[in-house]
């Protein structure tokens, strides 16, 4: 439900879709067009109450809680425009589903689609999915992959499923594998890469990740590990599989760039002159694909193993690489 100006008190009863959620996140989701600054102002002033009691911003909701949302007015220039999504675009996501059960949806995301809106994008995969399923009480991304990366993305239909898989991720029991095409002729059959990574923000506001030397101690730096397997080496390209041990931002892209084997088509860490040359040949995407995902099902406890087939443009680039 959308809201920007609310002239009367309203009450929301917490169902299983919001059970366990923090009150600030619940309000952000419920009051879709209201700026976060206004929501936190309502919380800090004690105007939002749960079961008639004042609560803090980190309060977690329980099934059956009654949330009081007070009257408020947001300045017109702060109100966000509602998202407009064409139904046919939402249906494309439904067609990309490769597995679904009572707790989870698994989607083979196409290259070029962000997983969520923001940073100049009005909507992404999760908004499209919610548009195609307006009756769904709970749909949340379990993890993220880059806009230009294709492949497996996991969406939770129940909050306990989301919480359980996040726990598996923290315990490093999730299996993740990627397929990637890089510039250069890779030599080793298997290589383990351990690097310390640090997120940075450039003057133009762009987020990037850089590699630190092992003896450099900087607050915010995080250890990262990838295992690379050579599948095919061509003259000027190599086809690799990558097993992620950690899941840091841009991890595979930064590891490969640091090693001197940038991903074909990577516009942030790649070889820009080669990208232009390859783009003229019709290879215009970033050649990184999330191909495998394994985990313990959060409700049944069964082992789940899912695959997304290699995209046709990977096959086309390999065919080109064999003859050039």
Average pLDDT over residues 11-29: 83
CATH class of 175-323: alpha beta
Answer yes or no: is pLDDT of 49 > 60.
yes
CATH of domain 87-161: 3.30.2350.10
Catalytic residue (one of 146, 266, 271, 313): 146
34 pLDDT band (50/70/90 cuts)? confident
Residue 146: active-site member = yes
Is the pLDDT reported for residue 271 higher than 80? yes
Residue 215, pLDDT > 80, answer no
- Residues 309 and 296 sit within 8 Å (Cβ to Cβ): no
**Which own/partner contact pairs does 297-302 have at CB distance under 8 Å and 24+ positions apart?**
297/101, 297/103, 297/104, 298/103, 298/104, 298/160, 298/161, 298/163, 298/164, 298/165, 299/102, 299/103, 299/158, 299/160, 299/161
Contact between residue 184 and residue 260 where contact means Cβ atoms under 8 Å apart:
yes
Measured in residues, the chain has a length of 324
pLDDT for the residue 206: 77
pLDDT at 6 over 80: no
**Which tens digits make up the pLDDT trace of 110-165?**
999 999 876 556 788 998 898 889 899 899 999 999 999 999 999 999 989 998 99
CA separation for the pair 31, 6 (Å, rounded): 10
Average pLDDT over residues 175-195: 96
Report phi then psi at 169, rounded to 5.
-65, -45
Superfamily of domain 5-78: RNA-binding S4 domain (3.10.290.10)
5-78 and 175-323 agree in CATH topology: no
Give pLDDT, residue 125: 92
> Does residue 3 surpass a pLDDT of 60?
no
Question: How far apart, in whole angstroms, are the C-alpha atoms of residue 62 and residue 22?
Answer: 10
Supply the pLDDT for residue 2.
42
Per-residue model confidence (pLDDT) at position 73: 65
pLDDT at 227: 97
Q: What is the chain's mean pLDDT, rounded? A: 88
| CA proximity to 186, closest of 242, 229, 225 | 229
Q: Which sequence spans correspond to the domains of the chain? A: 5-78, 87-161, 175-323
Q: What local confidence, expressed as pLDDT, does residue 57 receive?
A: 85
Q: Mean pLDDT across the stretch 181-190?
A: 96
251 or 63, which is more confident: 251
Looking at residue 1, what is its pLDDT?
Answer: 39
């Amino acid at each position: 439900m959308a809201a920007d100006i609310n002239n009367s008190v309203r009450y929301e009863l917490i169902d299983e879709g919001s059970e366990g959620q923090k009150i600030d996140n619940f309000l952000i989701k419920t009051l879709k067009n209201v700026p976060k600054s206004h929501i936190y102002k309502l919380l800090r002033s004690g105007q939002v109450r749960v079961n008639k009691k004042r609560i803090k911003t980190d309060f977690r909701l329980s099934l059956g809680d009654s949330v009081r949302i007070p009257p408020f007015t947001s300045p017109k220039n702060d109100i966000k425009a509602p998202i407009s999504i064409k139904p046919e675009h939402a249906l494309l996501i439904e067609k990309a589903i490769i597995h679904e059960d009572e707790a989870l949806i698994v989607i083979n995301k196409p290259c070029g689609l962000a997983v969520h809106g923001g940073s100049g994008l009005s909507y992404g995969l999760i908004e499209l999915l919610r548009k195609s399923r307006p009756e769904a009480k709970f749909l949340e991304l379990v993890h993220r992959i880059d806009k230009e990366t294709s492949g497996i993305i996991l969406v939770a239909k129940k909050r306990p499923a989301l919480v359980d898989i996040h726990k598996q991720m923290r315990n490093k029991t999730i299996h993740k594998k990627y397929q990637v095409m890089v510039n250069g002729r890779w030599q080793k059959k298997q290589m383990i890469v351990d690097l310390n990574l640090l997120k940075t923000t450039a003057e133009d506001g762009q987020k990037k990740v850089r590699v630190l030397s092992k003896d450099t101690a900087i607050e915010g730096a995080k250890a990262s590990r990838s295992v690379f397997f050579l599948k095919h080496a061509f003259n000027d390209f190599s086809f690799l599989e990558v097993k992620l041990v950690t899941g840091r931002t841009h991890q595979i892209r930064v590891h490969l760039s640091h090693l001197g084997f940038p991903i074909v088509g990577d516009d942030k860490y790649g070889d820009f002159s080669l990208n232009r040359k390859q783009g003229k040949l019709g290879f215009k995407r970033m050649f990184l694909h999330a191909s495998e995902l394994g985990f313990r099902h959060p409700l049944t406890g069964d082992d789940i193993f899912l695959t997304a087939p290699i995209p046709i443009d990977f096959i086309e680039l390999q065919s080109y690489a064999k003859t050039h």
